[in-house]
Amino acid sequence: MPGRTPGRLHRAVCPGSFDPVTNGHLDIIERSAKLFDEVVVAVGVNKSKNRLFSAEERIEMLAQACAGWDNVRVDGFTGLLTDFCQEHQIDAIVKGLRAVSDFDYELQMAQMNSSLAPVETVFVPTSPEWSFLASSLVKEVATFGGDVTGLVPEFVRELLLKRLAERESQ
């Protein structure tokens, strides 16, 4: 690959909340794993955000979902993503783009991140079959009894339905 430093490991991070992880997320992670020597899937841990799954649960789900890729590992982070990148010698941030509206926001983030640390942002367009998919939509559809089979890994679907049933009974 042009511009690569021989003998240097090239790492990328795929950040997100992953509440829950979807097949769209996994598509971006898999494609990133083909582009970089190592990919760190970084789960944002923000105690003030109300998530369906805890940070530990989301990390565990991702670890299971990513187990088939030898060069992918999962970690959590708090604070600035750029600090995480510097602490882990990460060269690039990979962001999946579903639509032009994603690009507007992500471009601003990329420019901010590059002003904070020597890290590049790589935009990967979402595969067409997942362009509509978002964790929030999966949760909403499942909440109202819709079938999310094929949108998330099967074990995630089962955990999602179990969690929603627990919340319903409270």
Show the CA angle centred on residue 28, arms to residues 31 and 58, nearest 5°: 130
Strands 38-44, 11-16: pairing kind? parallel
Alpha helices in the chain (DSSP H): 23-35, 55-65, 81-87, 100-116, 135-143, 154-168
Report the catalytic residues.
25, 49, 98, 135
Closest CA to 85 of 56, 110, 68: 110
